[in-house]
Structure 1
Amino acid sequence: MHYSGGVTKFNIAGVAPSQPGQIAWIQIPSVSFFNWHPFTIASAPGQNETTLAVRALGSFTKKVQTVGEDVVKVAQSTSIEGGTYEAVSTEMNFPKLQIDGPYGVGHLQWGAHPVIVLVAGGIGITPGISIAKHIVNQGKSGLVSMSGGWHIHLLWTVKNFDHISWFEAELKSLAEIASDQAVPVTLDITIHVTSGVEEDSESVKFYGIGDIYQGRPDLMKWFEDVRDARMGMDASVNLCGPAQLIRSGRIAASKASCEDILFHVEEETFEF
């Protein structure tokens, strides 16, 4: 499925990650017969599919945006008394894709700490979606190792409002599940849109996801707010996005850490 902002998502049935935030290598013959490229998986363990989101940032990923489902006309002749007639139907012809993986295990065990902090820029949200799905699904299934449950804080920075649509369905689903008091998981979502002019309908369009703001986030203040809300609990942090966001997030996590709460950080650098 194609989205504005040069993003294409693939859902591959029958392949599932064993850990949140893993990667898979994919090859698309119609784009390049020889090249394999790694992408972070946005689905979670327990799902019988792998979701990959590809952003147009280089020559290969730009070509991926031209790949789509083709509608093929299928003609079928049927014999009846007195002659034959030809019926024409349509079928979807999905692009061929090969996958190698999933691979990779981060140094953090997601769910080992009661607080999960996910900071992402642009398409760097993919590991955050995987991790959030994993934690929420564990909570929904009753597989909670924390006496007080888990608390997820997600901060996503995008350039334009319509980029939120990349993972709108997933975020709304996670927010709905976490709102159930029987599920021992809280989910706080903050989205910052850094460019474009906000229209009255923009925030309303994405109602039900979380708090949406115009402008760049103050990461230091955001981490301090998380710290003050979760004193006495350590946090696992995933930073994924442009180098400047990673650096600012790492500094903020370090400065916000204190005796009562430590932010344990892992990071991945992506372009915006």
Structure 2
Amino acid sequence: MTQDNALKIVKVEKENHDTTSIYFAGPDMERFKTRKPGQFASIRIFRDGAWSEAHPFTLSCAPGEETLRMTIKKSGAFTSTIPDIAPGTPIQCSGPYGQFCKDIGASREIVMIAGGVGITPFLSVLRHFQETGADNAILLFWANKTPDDAFAAQELEDLTQSLKLHVVHVFSRVAPAGQGAAPAFSDGRPGKISHEYGRLDQAMLLRHLVSTDASFYLCGPPSMQQAVLAELSRCGVDPGKVDKEAFISNKP
């Protein structure tokens, strides 16, 4: 693909101190119309007269949206340049790829567990569920260091008003007000929002799980995934039945 017929960045939106969403559209969008929520794609950006190396990121938008969206956290040389991309910048996008969250809509009871920017495939699913009027029962655990890292907190709270969604924010580096470091949950706010403090563990999971027979989905750093799988096993959930995002391409 040449620079002239590449997709183009149409908007750059800062989500918080280290996370930015880029929106892009243009020619060759037809192949993205059949994408599934939770899939990812690989992008190259044209700057300084050359294309970058390819980097995979989740398509955080709902499949029904006409503009593609990726929500990217600073974690290296390439991702650190994302906030400085100018609208109009050419971008190549291959995909969509992946089987994560495949057929998730068929599950009546869903448990999503995200670590940091691992929330992005679940945002895609939830945005899709809102567009389609889904009535699945959804429990979402989102682990972050502090509330400032939870860039989509307001959107998630809004989604609890239209979906059967319970969001549990887990903050590892914040203690509940007036309680030292002891765990706490549910601060009584409306909209099915709860808060936990510390690491996501067996006790924390059991405080909110309705059933261990739900469909479980997990996305986050490898070390976080390993720790969560161990805690789920202690809860009676078979780790082998947990759908995990590994950014594996499903192309031939």
- Establish whether TM, by shorter chain, passes 0.5: yes
Greater mean alpha carbon deviation, residues 187-196 or residues 13-22: 13-22
What are the within-5 Å matches in structure 2 for residues 73-112 of structure 1?
A: 93-106=87-100, 108-112=102-106
Q: Are residue 116 (structure 1) and residue 110 (structure 2) matched?
A: yes
In 2: Cα distance, 1:121 partner to 1:264 partner: 19
What secondary structure does 2:166 align onto? strand
Deviation (angstroms), 1:56: 1.0
Partner of 2:233: 254
In the alignment, which residue of structure 2 is the partner of 1:154? Answer: 140
Q: 1:171 and 1:125 mapped to 2: Cα distance?
A: 11
Q: 2:38 aligns with which of 21, 43, 49?
A: 21
Of 217, 224, 231, which aligns to 1:238?
Answer: 217
Alignment match of 1:221 (pick from 197, 203, 207)? 203
Deviations 1:117-140 (A, max 9, x none): 1111111111121222333433x1
Residue equivalent to 2:80: 62
State yes or no: 1:12 paired with 2:32.
Answer: no
Q: Report if the CA contact (8 A) 1:119-1:238 is conserved.
A: yes
Q: 1:109 to 1:243 in 2, by over 3 A?
A: same
Change (3 A) 1:199 1:257: closer
Q: Which has the higher strand share?
A: 1
Q: Is the 8 A contact 1:108 1:266 kept in 2?
A: no
Greater displacement, 12-21 / 23-32 = 12-21
Structure showing greater radius of gyration is: 1
| Matching residue of 2:15 | 3
- In 2, distance between residues paired with 1:129 and 1:17? 18
Shift of 1:94: 4.0
Partner of residue 265 from structure 1, selected from 239, 242, 247: 242
C-alpha separation in 1, matches of 2:220 and 2:148? 18
Which residue in 1 is equivalent to 2:7? none
Distance 1:249 1:214 in 2: 15
Change (3 A) 1:107 1:197: closer
Q: In structure 1, which of residues 53, 59, 64 is the aligned counterpart of residue 71 of structure 2?
A: 53
Q: How far apart, CA to CA, are the structure 1 residues paired with 2:89 and 2:34?
A: 22
Q: CA deviation at 1:111?
A: 2.2
Identical amino acids, percent of aligned pairs: 27
Contact 2:109/2:214 (8 A) holds in 1: yes
Cα distance, 1:189 vs. partner?
0.1
**2:211 partner amino acid:** R
Q: Deviations over 1:142-194 (max 9, x none)?
A: xx6xxxx42101011112222222x235313322212xxxxxxx111011222
What residue in structure 2 maps to residue 164 of structure 1? 150
- Calculate the aligned-residue CA RMSD, in Å: 3.3
8 Å Cα contact 2:42/2:55 also seen in 1: yes
8 A Cα contact 1:235 1:263, kept in partner: no
Distance 1:150 1:263 in 2: 23
How many residue pairs are counted as aligned between the two chains? Answer: 221
Counterparts of 1:235 and 1:177 in 2: how far apart (Å)? Answer: 21
Moved more, 119-128 or 4-13: 4-13
Secondary structure of the residue that 1:137 maps to in structure 2? helix
Q: 1:39 aligns with which of 57, 78, 89?
A: 57
Q: 1:195 to 1:226 in 2, by over 3 A?
A: closer
Change (3 A) 1:50 1:105: same
Q: Deviations over 1:187-216 (max 9, x none)?
A: 11011222257789xxx9x98572233332
Which stretches in structure 1 are left out of the alignment for 5+ residues? 69-92, 179-185
CA displacement 1:222-269 (0-9 Å, x = unmatched): 433454x237xx3221111122321122223334337xx999311136
